[in-house]
Structure 1
Amino acid sequence: MNTLKSPLLLAVTLAFVLSPLFVTSFRGYDPAAFPVPVFEPPVQPAGWAFSIWGLIYAWLIAHAAYGLWRHRSDPLWDAPRWPLIASLALGASWLEVANRAPILATVQIVAMLGLALWALARSPRGPGRWWRIAPVALYAGWLTAASGVSAGVVLIGHGVLGATAATLAMLVLVLAVALIVQRRNRHAPEYALAVAWALAGIVAANLGADGLIAGAAGAGIMALAANGVWRGAAG
């Protein structure tokens, strides 16, 4: 077993968490970066929803630090480290890329998501769930929603779809992925909670402006809740 993985994970986690300090403030893609300027895209959650990053950052640091301290050579802790390291390493440069190249940033965040889901898949049931599994699940859940938001804004900005059509398409895609991942990871409810939090932000952003989008996002929250209850009863 490579015992360098645990200190490397802590290092890339800190780089990821500290990366916002080294880039210009990011409040979404620059409207001027698109052929069709995108102002207040309906696919983007309300600003308060992004506060979840504080919890994600703190929990990922706790995960990496505790794993290094107490579980450096534990196979359960070690299994997800490589994909999580790769995801966070990509994430450390994401804000800088997002400020310059939205399409590349979208590809990058989808790659981050794929690696995070791989890490989650390699985090089976077992002891230490709150330290070992929950932070990875929360991170992967938010990335699922964020990938849809990023892709939706790019579709709108390049005139591929209108704002409503792009938002609804991304909601369907995000929900489809989330339901599948939720079913396969019943031991990690934080994943679905992070997706639901993002959907709640989309509901809030569209209330009074676009009832169809707000209703679709709300239906997504109910679908996740129903899926969780049903799978819990079945399991």
Structure 2
Amino acid sequence: MPLAVLVLILSIAFAASPLLVPGFGGFDPNQFPIPQDSPPVQPAGYAFSIWGLIYLWLIASALFGLKRAAEWTAMRPALAVSLAIGATWLPVAMLSPIWAAILIWAMLVTALIALVRAPMIDKPWAAWPIGLYTGWLSAASCVSLGLLAAGYGWMSQQTAAYVFVGLAILLAMVVQSLLNRTPTYGLTVIWALIAVAVHNWDSATTGVAWLALIGAVAMVLPMVRSARV
């Protein structure tokens, strides 16, 4: 099977994966030894609506890519692995937050490889949708660690939020600066950070909101620079 066709099939399977767990709205607080009810490391619920755009753009990208067999070859193996893992993530998340965290980091690493290898041509169809996907994974991967840290008592919820929101900002700044292209990556991280700020505003964790807002502002410059390439 041509790899381009496989990526299309996996993109569709990934987008269809929520049908396997209808009604999934995030981890059940009681999946953790210390229940995680409204943890401050997590973005406001509206932020997850970005998945609709991610799914649609990845499918559109894969369809367009059927005409780009040679130019897109380098990025496809890593992207296929990331999407294959992603298609299984929701059922795993229903069973084990630990395995869900391991898988989402595997998704992130392989997506980053695909993003680095994405061609300079066809940006709206190749690099940009992968950037959107990878940007969200960068934030979500750090959130997963924050949930585990607080949920297993390694840190308080507030400390975990500071540590892992900070990690998300640092990771995103490094990736966007080194990549120096694909503004959709930074834009998605900004979206996630603003949602973290919204979630924590007017609460006992307002400091986390300010950290997320500062991170979002800091991401603007490297994102804008990358848009010029």
**TM class by smaller structure:** over 0.9
CA drift of 1:186 comes to 2.1
Alignment partner of 1:181 is 2:175: yes
After superposition, the CA RMSD in angstroms is 1.5
For residue 227 of structure 1, what is the amino acid of its counterpart?
P
Alignment partner of 1:155 is 2:149: yes
CA distance in 1: counterparts of 2:162 and 2:54, whole angstroms: 26
Give the aligned length. 228
Structure 2: 5+ residue stretches without partners: none
Q: CA offsets per residue over residues 100-153 of structure 1, 9 Å max, x none?
A: 10001000000000000000010142x211011100000000000000111111
CA drift of 1:229 comes to 4.6
Partner of 1:108: 103
For 1:188-199, list aligned pairs within 5 A: 188-199=182-193
Structure 1: 5+ residue stretches without partners: none
Partner secondary structure for residue 72 of structure 2: helix
For 1:1-235, list aligned pairs within 5 A: 4-68=2-66, 70-71=67-68, 73-74=69-70, 76-125=71-120, 127-209=121-203, 210-229=205-224
CA drift of 1:25 comes to 2.0
CA distance in 1: counterparts of 2:15 and 2:22, whole angstroms: 15
TM-score by length of 1: 0.93
Q: CA offsets per residue over residues 19-54 of structure 1, 9 Å max, x none?
A: 101114221211111111110111111111111001
Label 1:48 to 1:231 Cα distance change in 2 as closer, same or farther (>3 A).
closer
Partner secondary structure for residue 99 of structure 1: helix
TM-score by length of 2: 0.95
Q: CA offsets per residue over residues 134-185 of structure 1, 9 Å max, x none?
A: 0000000000000011111111110001011101111111111111110122
CA drift of 1:14 comes to 0.7
Partner secondary structure for residue 124 of structure 2: helix
